Each structure stands twice: as C-alpha cells, then as structure tokens.
Amino acid sequence: MEITLNDVKNNETIRELVSHANKCLEVIGYTDHGPRHVGYVSRIAGEILEKLGMPERRIELAKIAGWVHDVGNMINRKNHGLDGAVMLFPILCEIGMPVAEVCDVCAAVGSHEEETGKPVSDISAALILADKIDAHRARVRVKKFDLADIHDRVNYSIQSTKLTVQDGTIAIDYNMSSSSSPMDFLMIYLTRMQMCEKSAEFLGCNFGLYINGVKLNRWEEPDGV
C-alpha cells in the first residue's frame, strides 16, 4: 500500500512537528509557516508536476514533500531544511514508505533553502518553486503585523498570485498594492527567485516573474511560440 499525502497529514508525529515549527517561527517574528503555508506548497508542487505530465506517484511525493518541508524550523531557522530531512527519514520509514521514496522526499526537503540547496530532482525543483513563490497577505500574522517590517509589508501588499505552467514556461504574477514595491519585494525575494529560475530550468522550463503584469526577469520564449 502506497503512503499518500493524507496518511502523512494524519500522522500525529508529523502533525505536531508542523505545528510546533510554526509556533517557534511565530515567537521570533516570522510569517506563517503552518498548515496554510505548507498546504499551499504541497498543492502547488503537485500542480507543477501534474501540468508537466509527470507520473502520478511523483506528483504525490511532491505533495508530501511540500507538506513536511518546514518541520526543521522546530530546531532552528538556520539549516532547517537539513535538520528537517534528518528528522523525517526515520519517521517516513516507520509509517511504511519505501526507502527509495523516503530518499526522494528527504533530498527535496534538505535542498529547498537558497543558502545550501539546489534542485536535485523533479520533486525537489517543484518544492523549491512552490515554496519560494508563496508571498501573500494571508501569511502575515495579524497579532504581530508590523508595517515597518519589510517581510510583513511585502507579504501584506500582495493581494493575489497567479501561477501558470504552459508552453514550456512556469510563471508567477503577483498583484501587489502600493503599500509596498517591487524594490522591497526584490530585497527579500531576489535569491529565492533566482533559485526558482534554476528549478524551472531543471524541469526543462523557463521561469517568468511578474508583478502587476510587468516582467521583472529575463527569459526567452520557447521555440515555436
């Protein structure tokens, strides 16, 4: 029997890790990294591979990686991808996931941060893309909202996001209000968007970054378009 995303979401240990990691980040002032964020990353990582025509099992593993990718924040924000991968390996094995699949998921989790990571598989590339593009006002913690904080200001200004995967291009378009600016966005997201470019390339695609319909990065149109 194959382990599914629902099996992982319903696992008591993993559920507590996701919750506690999010609480730790709340204490030190980070945006939401709980069920809302990991749920988004899980869904988008799966959608990317699905739209690229990948096998169903690879899609499901990308969803699983998305759900568990931030549990290492329970230990520390620094190197949380590496910590999370090490923590998850025995847990995923114990719930019955084949070792080869555990390796795929843990490799993706351990490679998703820009300080130390690079795309190492289709699952890894999809996870990086889904994680790094998640900027939205829903991530701002209402009780701790601080307009002077650039992370809160940027995320709060993003009213909607639109991801498209077609014609050999993965593109994200942010609808941003005037309470922040593209310059603010790039101050905190530039290296993340560069990692998205590398991940899209790994998947054989271009990457397009748009804010309010304006392209911010350079990419070539696919042949024949």
pLDDT tens profile 42-65: 999 999 999 999 999 999 999 999
Which residue matches tokens 């989790």? 109
Nearest to 135 by CA among 91, 166, 177: 177
Q: Is the pLDDT of residue 225 over 50?
A: no
pLDDT band at 138 (very low <50, low <70, confident <90, very high): confident
**Residue 221: pLDDT band with limits 50, 70, 90:** low
- Using pLDDT thresholds of 50, 70 and 90, give the confidence band for residue 149: confident
Long-range pairs for 194-198: beta carbons < 8 A, 24 or more residues apart: 194/114, 195/114, 195/117, 195/118, 195/128, 195/132, 196/128, 196/129, 196/132, 196/133, 196/170, 196/172, 198/118, 198/119
Is residue 142 predicted with pLDDT exceeding 60?
yes
With a threshold of 0.75, does the pTM exceed it? yes
pLDDT of residue 150: 87
DSSP state of 72: G
Give 157-194 pLDDT, tens digit per residue.
999 999 999 999 999 999 999 989 999 999 999 999 99
In this prediction, residue 219 carries a pLDDT of 55
Is the predicted pLDDT of residue 220 greater than 70, yes or no?
no
| Residue listed under structure tokens 């029997």 | 1
Can you list the domains of the chain with their CATH numbers? 5-215 (1.10.3210.10)
Banded pLDDT at 144 (limits 50, 70, 90): low
Rounded CA-CA distance 177/133 in Å is 17
Per DSSP, the residues of 91-111 read HHHHTT--HHHHHHHHHHHHT
Residue 160's beta-bridge partner residues? Answer: 175
Residue 23: pLDDT above 90?
yes
At residue 224, the pLDDT reads 45
CA–CA gap between residue 112 and residue 124 (Å, rounded): 7
| 185-205 mean pLDDT | 95
C-beta of residue 113 within 8 angstroms of C-beta of residue 125: no
